[in-house]
Structure formats: C-alpha cells, structure tokens
Structure 1
Amino acid sequence: MIELTDVSFWYHGQDDPVLNGITVTVGEGELVLVTGRTGAGKSTLLGTVNGLVPHFTGGHLQGEVAVGGITTATRPPRELSHLVGVVGQDPLAGFVTDTVEEELAYGMEQLGLKPDVMRRRVEETLDLLGIADLRRRALRTLSGGQQQRVAIGSVLTMHPPVLVLDEPTSALDPTAAEDVLATLARLVQDLGTTVLLAEHRMERVVPFADRMLYLPGDGTLVDGPPAEVLLDMPIGPPIVALGRFAGWTPLPLSVRDARRQAAPLRAALPEVPAEPGGTACEPVLTGRDVVVRYGTTVAVRGIDLDLHGARVLALMGRNGSGKSSLLWALQGSGPRQGGTVSVAGSDPGKLTSARARTLVGLVPQSASDLLYLERVADECAAADREASAVPGSCRDMLDRLAPGVDPHAHPRDLSEGQRLALVLAVQLTASPRVMLLDEPTRGLDYDAKAALAAIVASLTAEGRAVVVATHDVEFVAAVADRVVVLAEGEIVADGPAREVLGGSPAFAPQVAKILGPGWLTVEDVRAALPQEAR
C-alpha cells in the first residue's frame, strides 16, 4: 500500500539529509509505529506519504514514494486525499470550519458523498470517539485533547485506506487514548486500513503495533517487529526498561505479558517505601475559591489550592476537566470570575507582565503561541534580555531539553517537541517562583522528558513550586510529589503521588500495574531491590 524506494530528503539550506536512502514497504492492513528522538525525522517521513513533503515544505526529495500505486511526486496532496488521511501534531492548525459537526462533515463534502452517507458516518464517528456531546461546540472552545479527537474524527469519516497520524494521543487522557487506539486497531482488523503512526509515548501504542520503524536521527531507518527493534533501541517505554533490568526473555510488550514474568521480582522486593515526611511550610502560591466561566459553562468551580516550594504538584483529569483553565487563572492572564490568587502578597493578574513572569511562569499547550521572532537565536536572546539573565542562559537551557536545535532556524519550522522545548527554556530563563507547565511532555521523547525531569528537580531544589498539568502518567510518576485530579472543574482526589496514582486504574503507570500500586518507576525498583537480588 505504501512504498518508499531509496528515499532521501534535504530541507533547504541543510547539507545533511533528514532521510537518507530509505526503502520500506507497508502492506494493506498494517499498523506501523514510527518512533525516534525529537527531530529525528518522523514528521518528515510521514509527510512524504501524502506529498506534503516536498510539495508544501519545499526541499529536495530523491527517490520514489508511492501510495496505492500512485507516485506522490506527480500529484499534489489534494489529489491524494481520497487515499491518505492525515492528522497532524497541531489539530487547531488543520481545522477549516467552526463547529465539531461541520468539521467531521467537511472532508466528506469535498469528496462528494451523499448527505445520508455523511450523516451516518458523522454519527458513527461521534460515538466511536466519545464526543457526541461536543457536536455543536465551537472548535476553539474545546480543550487540546478534545480538539485532537475531533481532528482524528474528521479523517475517519472519509474512510481513507491509509491513515497517517503524527502524535495522535499526545494530548489525550489515558482512557481517551486507549479508546482512540482501540478504534484504530478495529479499522486495521475489520476494514484493512493501513495506519502509519508516530508517537513518543510508545507504552500506549506498542501493544497494537505490527511493526516498528525507528529513526536513529542519522537519516537511516530500522525496520522490524516491535520486540526486536526495542531490544537494541536506546529509548523505550518503562515496561521495556523494567524487562531489561529484570532480564526477562522474551522482552514483554504488554502489562499482561510482564505480569506473567514478574512473580520472582515481586517476591524479591521489600515493603513499599513509606511516603517521605516533611515539615509544613508557608505556601508559595495560594488560591481560594477560584472560579472560571466561559459563557454559561463553568470550567473551574470554586477551587482552593496551595502550592508549596520545593514540591511538584501534578494536575490530572480527563480532557475538558478544567486543568488548563485553572492554570491560566493562577497565572493571571486567563479569566477568573471569582476567588483570589496570591504570590508573595501580590495577585499576578494585577501586575505588569514583566513583573508577573518573575512570580509565575506558564508554558501553554500551544507553546508556539509565545514565539514571535524569526530565529531560535533571536528568541533566546530576547528571553535573556527580558529576564535580565546572563547572555546564553536561555540557549543553555534549550540545549539541556533538546540538544542541537539550529540557532538560525525559524521557530515555526521546528518539530513540535523542539518548539515546546524552546518555549520552556524561554519561560524558565525568568526564574519564576512558581512554574506552571501545561502538557509539557507533548512531543518530547524519553530522553527529553528525562532532561525535563532533571530541570524540574533543579527548580524544586531552589525552593520553587512546580505544577504540571498532564496526561503523561509515566512523567508524573517520575517527578510528582502530590497529585490533584480534577473532574468537571472540581477536585476529586488530592494526595501523595504514590497513593493517588497507585489507587487509580486509569492513572497507574506501567510499573505499578506490573508490580503493585506502591511502585511507580523503574528507578524506584532499582533503588529498593537488595544488591544481591539484582
């Protein structure tokens, strides 16, 4: 169905190819996972399949890409829309209508389908993705995760034989992500749809994948069954790291397979370590009875929240539960119809932006909204000036998150993960007392997330308070001291990370599912296991 023959690709102004002599064939009815570090070329590889690369991006493509026997070099992307459905990293950038129902129908209208067929497919897709209650909502009023499900649905309604998805579950809560992946698996099994999917959170996708394409970052590609490719990959999900540590053979790819081999490891582990105690201190930020409304919709319902220095609080909950609205209200830039917020005796919403940045920093879901200059180097230099920081501070921070970003590149030409890393570096340069991160791991690979975790740890070591709103349970397990779960704008759970994550089937990390609720990360297991038992 998809054939790449000796494909190489160079972006304008680059000497080294992003893809170098790649030959690969993807058959009908295969679900193929594309993975690799941030900036390795995953989005470029996906873009060749429908001709966006090079017709839209520019650059030089060498070799041949064919889909269903049609060579993409000879047809513009619009003439391949009946063959290839594409869901990009930024759902909002791909929307062309105003409401959910209109967006789901738009692609079918362009294909000239009959109204009764369109109506049926819209209803089926609304039910498949669990978004029937959103049908009349304006797209711009949806949360990031809701927008992502609508973007996936707008492609599914056209029933293309090939689906290309770039980070399709990155903004989805665990339950929604499982629903979307199960839907894709049904399309593969029942309709013979070919799915090419790039995803950094491999723990979600590996159990569904037939094959894996790994891009090491040097232009080459490793192709094979997931178990074989993961065995030698330098990056991998927690279940693979645990399997390597425990010496399990074959390497498990699902929680079920891992549990079957985990009995000896569970027996060797001591009692679950107790939660570390600590003396209560004055909160760095205090929010009381915070209320946020959008018209008649109440997004945050009278929440009380204290943030303490040297602590990481994870804000979790299903898509649309009010996480982002609460962060913007705490930061001061977003609407707040009721309640008070205080940082160092001041309300950030009543201060100048420059002063507020030194108190509370926020990295939004759409990180690129904060980028306005034409070069990465210019963004870093501006951040240093605005924060009165030592020149080079922002760039040093960026290199820790995403090494090797071209200083002369336009920020909008970076990958999603690289743009997120740049915005995070810009905000951290101001050294705010409170740092709010909204889906900060979206688009980041495992190494970049480890670097982000190290930066979060350094911030808390300096006494700062950090809040991470995320659906990435593995990242929360690694960094959070406390977890707050929201539902419909209210707090439904608040407690130590080990207690809240371990007691939730939806939010439990892979290690907890395998070894029990007290164990959250592979590092926890490594540290607790007696030396002679390793």
Structure 2
Amino acid sequence: MISVERVSVTYPGQSHPAVHDVDLEIPEGELCLVVGPTGSGKSTLLRTISGLVPHFSGGTLAGRVVVAGRDTRTHRPRDLADAVGVVLQDPARGFVTETVTDELVYAMEQLGLPRAVMRTRTEEVLDLLGLADLRDAPLRDLSGGEQQRVAIGAVLTAHPQVLVLDEPTSALDPPAADDVLAALTRLVHDQGMTVVLAEHRLERVVQYADLVVAVAADGTVSHGAAGDVLGPGSAAPPLVELAAVAGWRPVPLSVRDARRRVAPLRDRLTAARTREVLPGPGRAVLTARGIQVRHRRAHAVRGVDLTLAAASVTAVMGRNGAGKSSLLWALSGAGPRSAGSVTLGPEPGQDPAALDAAAARRLVALVPQDPTDLLYLGSVGAECRAGDTQAAVAAGTCAQLLERFAGPVPAQAHPRDLSEGQRLALVLAVQLAADPLVLLLDEPTRGLDYAAKRALVAVLAQHTARGGAVLLSSHDVEFVAQCADRVVVMSDGVTVTDGPARDVLVASPTFAPQVAKVLHPVPLLTVAEVREALAAAR
C-alpha cells in the first residue's frame, strides 16, 4: 500500500536532511506506529507519505514515495485526497467550517458524493467517535480533545485507503483515547484500512501496532515488530521498562500480558513495601473560592474551590470538556471568570486579574494548550532573548531551559517550523525563566517524548524545591504519576475527587498508570518506584 524508496528530505536553509535514506514497505491493512524523540523527523516522514512534502512544506525530496499506486512526486495532496486522509498535530488549524456536522461533511462535498451517502457516513462517524451529542456544536466551543476527534472524523467520512495521523491521542482523555484507538483498530481489521500514526504516548498504542518505525535523532529510520524495535531507554513505554527490571522475555506489550507474569514480582514487592509517610501541607500560595466560568451558553466551571500549597504539584484530570482549561485560564487572571475570587502570595489579597502583565508574570504564569498563542517573534533565538528580557534574568537562561527540554534547537529556526513538542518546550522555557510563584500548565506533555518528560519532571521538582507551586491539567497519566503530589478530578465543571496522587490514581481504573494496573493491589505508580522497592529489599 505504501512504498518508501531511498527517501531523504532536506528543508530550505538546513544543511542536513530531516530524514534520510528511508526504505520502508507498509502493507495494506496494517497499523504502523512511528516513534522517535521530539524533533527527530516523525512529522516529516508522515508528511512525506501524505504528499505534503514537498508540495506544501517545500524542501527537497530525494527518492520515491508511492501510496495506493500513486507517486507523490507527480500527485499533489489534492490528487491523493480520495485515497489518503491526514490529521496533523494541531487539528483546529485544519478546520474550514463552523460546526461539527459541517466539518464532517466538507470533505465528502469536495469529492462530490451523493447526499444520501454523506448523511449515512456522517452518522456512522458520529457514533464511531462518540460525537453524536456534539453534532451541532460550534467548533470554537469544543475542548482540544473534542476538536481532535472531529478532525479524525472529518477524514474518516471520505473512506480513505490510508489514514495518516500525527499524535492522534495527545489531547484525549484516557477513555476517549481508548475509543479512538479501538475505532482505528476496527477499521484496520475489518475494512483493511492502512493506518500510519506517530505517537509519543506509546503505552496507549503500542499493543495495537503491526509494525513499528523508529526515527532516530539523526533522521535515520529502522523498523520491525514492536518487541524487536522498542527496548529499555528514552523511547520505551513503562511496560518495556518494567519488563527489563523483572527480566521478562519476550517483552509484554499490554497490561493483560504483563499481569499473566507478574505474581513473583508482586510477591517480592509486597514483602518490601513499607508505609509511606506523606509531608504535611505547605503554606497556601493560591486560594480560589467559588470559581465559575461561562462561555456563552456553556457553563464550563461551576463553583470550584482550590488551594495550592507551596512546594507542591497538583494535577487536574478529567474527561475532555470537564472544565480543566477554563479553570486554569481563570486562575491565571488572563481568562474569563464569571464569579469567584483568586488570591495569591506572597502578599494576601493579590488577584492576578488586577495586576499588570509584568507583576502578574512573576507571580503566576500559564502555558496554554496551544503554545503558539505565546509565540510572536521570527526566530527561536529572538523568543529566548525576549523571554530573558521580560523576566529580567541573565542572558541565555531561556535558551538553557529550552535545551534541557528538547535538546539542541537552532536559534535561527522560526517557531512555526518547529515540531509541536519543540514549540511547547520553547514556551515552557520562556515562562519558567521568570521563576513564577505559581506555574499553570495546560497539557504540558503534548508532543514531548519520554526523555523530555523526565526533564520536565526534574524542572518542576526544582521549581517546587524553591517554594513554588505547580498546577497542571493533563490526560497523561504516566506523567502525572511521576510528578504530582495531589490529584483533582473534575467532571462537568465541578470537583469530584481531591486527594493524594497515589490514592486517587491507584483507585481509578481510568487514570491508573500502567505499573499500577500491572501490580495491583501493590500501590506503586512508576518503574522508578519499583526499582527503589526492590533495592530496599536486598
């Protein structure tokens, strides 16, 4: 179905190709998972398969790509539209209509399908992706995860032979991600669709992959079965790391497979486990009472009370549309607040909404779900220099933080030319340079690989060690398990659970990380905790 022959892609102004000498065959009716570190070239490979490279993105394409019998050198993306569906990292940028149903219908209208066919396919996709209740909703009113499902549905209505997806579950809550992956798997197994997707959250998708393509940091590509390509290291999901600790061969790729072998390891951990002593709460640095947020007719946040303590990381979790992002914007002072109060230290009574931008930034900083909202200059270097100036810190502070998150990023590169993960890392660096008392992060791990997430965990630990507080909204349960002291679960704009992270995550079938699911009832959340427990038992 897809043939990639000796392909290299070099962008204008770059001395080295983004990917080079790629030879790859993807058969019909298989799910191909593309993995690799942030900025390695995964998106370039997907854009090459879909024909966007070089017709849309520019650059030089060497070699040959044939998709569904069509050579992408002579067939532009519009010539592939009936055969190849594409969903890129930021789905909202691809919307061309105003409502969910109109967006689902648009591609079929361009293909000239009969009205009866369009109606049938629209209903099928609404049911397949759980969008029926949103059929008439304005796209601008949807959460990031809901927008992502609409974008996937918009290409599925055209019944493509090949579906190309870049980070399709990055904005989805765990149940929604499971639903989307189950739908994709059904399309692969039952209808013979070929699916190629790039994903950093390998724990979600690796068990479904027929083929894994690994893009290295230097742009070289290898491929094979998941158990052969993935090994312990920076790009390995928790189950692979746990298998290395436990000595399991072959490596289990699903929680079910791991639980079949876990009894001896669980017995050792049960004997070693001691009662955890939790630190007491620190002084309050942010207090919110009765927060309400309305967006036109939608009541997004309904009377939420929240207190953030110094030296703590609090995670807000919940399904898409629960009100998490609206809450963070309201707390920052930059977003709407229909009712309620927010006060933060060090002096009592300070409301971030009443402060000027410079003063507010030193007290509370928000990294939004779409990082490009905060990027406005023409190069990475310019953004970093502006970040240093605005934060009144030493020159190079922002650039050093960026390299810690995402590795070397060319200073002359334009922010829009970066990968999603690199753009997010840049905004994180700009906001953290000011060392705010309270840091608000909305889905901070979108587009970040495992190594970048570990670097972020370390930076957040340093921030809290200096007395700062972190509030983050995330669907990434593995990341939350690594960094959060406390978890707040929201539903329909209200708080339904608030407690220590270990208690909330272990007890939740929805938000439990893979290690907790495998080891249940042993209350461990991460592979690092397993290593520590085993070392203590020796």
In structure 1, the residue matched to 2:307 is 306
Please tell me whether residue 522 in structure 1 is matched to residue 527 in structure 2: yes
Secondary structure class of the residue paired with 1:104: helix
In structure 1, the residue matched to 2:109 is 109
Please tell me whether residue 403 in structure 1 is matched to residue 407 in structure 2: yes
Quick one: distance in 2 between partners of 1:363 and 1:255? 33
State the Cα deviation string for residues 274-293 of structure 1 (Å, max 9, x = none): 34333333310000000001
Quick one: distance in 1 between partners of 2:417 and 2:276? 44
| Cα drift, residue 528 of structure 1 | 1.1
Quick one: distance in 2 between partners of 1:107 and 1:311? 47
Secondary structure class of the residue paired with 2:284: coil
Quick one: distance in 1 between partners of 2:274 and 2:115? 61
In structure 2, the residue matched to 1:245 is 245
Summarize the alignment of residues 353-502 of structure 1 with structure 2, pairs less than 5 Å apart. 353-502=357-506
Contact 2:232–2:240, Cα closer than 8 Å, also in 1: no
| Cα drift, residue 233 of structure 1 | 5.7
**Alpha-carbon distance change, 33 to 271 in structure 1, aligned in 2, over 3 angstroms:** same
Amino acid at match of 1:34: V
Summarize the alignment of residues 151-162 of structure 1 with structure 2, pairs less than 5 Å apart. 151-162=151-162
**Alpha-carbon distance change, 232 to 61 in structure 1, aligned in 2, over 3 angstroms:** farther
Amino acid at match of 1:124: E
Secondary structure class of the residue paired with 1:491: strand
Quick one: distance in 1 between partners of 2:89 and 2:9? 20
Please tell me whether residue 324 in structure 1 is matched to residue 328 in structure 2: no
Secondary structure class of the residue paired with 1:15: coil
Identical residues among aligned pairs (%): 59
Quick one: distance in 1 between partners of 2:233 and 2:496? 39
| Cα drift, residue 69 of structure 1 | 1.3
Quick one: distance in 1 between partners of 2:307 and 2:466? 18
Q: Which moved more, 1:481-490 or 1:277-286?
A: 277-286
RMSD in angstroms over aligned alpha carbons? 1.1
Quick one: distance in 2 between partners of 1:66 and 1:232? 34
| Cα drift, residue 509 of structure 1 | 0.2
Normalised by the length of structure 1, the TM-score is 0.98
Summarize the alignment of residues 200-239 of structure 1 with structure 2, pairs less than 5 Å apart. 200-231=200-231, 234-239=234-239
Secondary structure class of the residue paired with 2:48: helix
| Cα drift, residue 296 of structure 1 | 2.2
Q: Which moved more, 1:193-202 or 1:274-283?
A: 274-283
Secondary structure class of the residue paired with 2:231: helix
Secondary structure class of the residue paired with 1:261: coil
| Cα drift, residue 232 of structure 1 | 6.4
Q: Which moved more, 1:273-282 or 1:458-467?
A: 273-282
Contact 2:129–2:153, Cα closer than 8 Å, also in 1: yes
Contact 2:33–2:199, Cα closer than 8 Å, also in 1: yes
Quick one: distance in 2 between partners of 1:44 and 1:233? 23
| Cα drift, residue 17 of structure 1 | 1.1
State the Cα deviation string for residues 143-182 of structure 1 (Å, max 9, x = none): 1000000000101111100000000000000000000000
Unaligned runs of 5+ in 1: none
Quick one: distance in 2 between partners of 1:7 and 1:469? 39
Contact 2:232–2:241, Cα closer than 8 Å, also in 1: no
In structure 1, the residue matched to 2:516 is 512
Contact 1:376–1:407, Cα closer than 8 Å, also in 2: yes
| Cα drift, residue 219 of structure 1 | 2.0
Summarize the alignment of residues 10-159 of structure 1 with structure 2, pairs less than 5 Å apart. 10-159=10-159
Quick one: distance in 2 between partners of 1:165 and 1:405? 24
State the Cα deviation string for residues 442-477 of structure 1 (Å, max 9, x = none): 000000000000001111111100011000000000
Amino acid at match of 1:260: R
Quick one: distance in 2 between partners of 1:389 and 1:318? 38
In structure 1, the residue matched to 2:294 is 293
State the Cα deviation string for residues 465-503 of structure 1 (Å, max 9, x = none): 001100000000000000000000000000001100000
Q: Which moved more, 1:261-270 or 1:467-476?
A: 261-270
| Cα drift, residue 530 of structure 1 | 4.1
Quick one: distance in 1 between partners of 2:158 and 2:97? 16
Summarize the alignment of residues 162-177 of structure 1 with structure 2, pairs less than 5 Å apart. 162-177=162-177
Quick one: distance in 1 between partners of 2:248 and 2:279? 37
Amino acid at match of 1:257: D
Quick one: distance in 2 between partners of 1:123 and 1:223? 37
Contact 1:29–1:192, Cα closer than 8 Å, also in 2: yes
Quick one: distance in 2 between partners of 1:203 and 1:157? 28
Amino acid at match of 1:520: L
Contact 2:364–2:439, Cα closer than 8 Å, also in 1: yes
Quick one: distance in 1 between partners of 2:536 and 2:498? 35
Contact 1:243–1:251, Cα closer than 8 Å, also in 2: yes
Contact 1:384–1:391, Cα closer than 8 Å, also in 2: yes
In structure 1, the residue matched to 2:267 is 267
Quick one: distance in 2 between partners of 1:205 and 1:309? 36
Amino acid at match of 1:340: S
| Cα drift, residue 234 of structure 1 | 4.3
**Alpha-carbon distance change, 479 to 233 in structure 1, aligned in 2, over 3 angstroms:** closer
Quick one: distance in 1 between partners of 2:274 and 2:532? 10
Amino acid at match of 1:524: E
Amino acid at match of 1:64: R
Secondary structure class of the residue paired with 1:231: coil
Contact 1:172–1:471, Cα closer than 8 Å, also in 2: yes
In structure 1, the residue matched to 2:197 is 197
Number of aligned residue pairs: 533
| Cα drift, residue 373 of structure 1 | 0.2
Secondary structure class of the residue paired with 1:63: strand
Contact 1:284–1:309, Cα closer than 8 Å, also in 2: yes
| Cα drift, residue 272 of structure 1 | 4.3
State the Cα deviation string for residues 65-86 of structure 1 (Å, max 9, x = none): 0111110010211111101000
Quick one: distance in 2 between partners of 1:521 and 1:293? 37
In structure 2, the residue matched to 1:284 is 285
Quick one: distance in 2 between partners of 1:472 and 1:276? 26
Quick one: distance in 1 between partners of 2:520 and 2:211? 30
Please tell me whether residue 2 in structure 1 is matched to residue 18 in structure 2: no
Normalised by the length of structure 2, the TM-score is 0.98
Quick one: distance in 2 between partners of 1:291 and 1:275? 36
Quick one: distance in 1 between partners of 2:249 and 2:282? 48
**Alpha-carbon distance change, 532 to 133 in structure 1, aligned in 2, over 3 angstroms:** closer
State the Cα deviation string for residues 222-242 of structure 1 (Å, max 9, x = none): 110001111366421001000
Quick one: distance in 2 between partners of 1:69 and 1:126? 30
Amino acid at match of 2:292: V
| Cα drift, residue 118 of structure 1 | 0.5
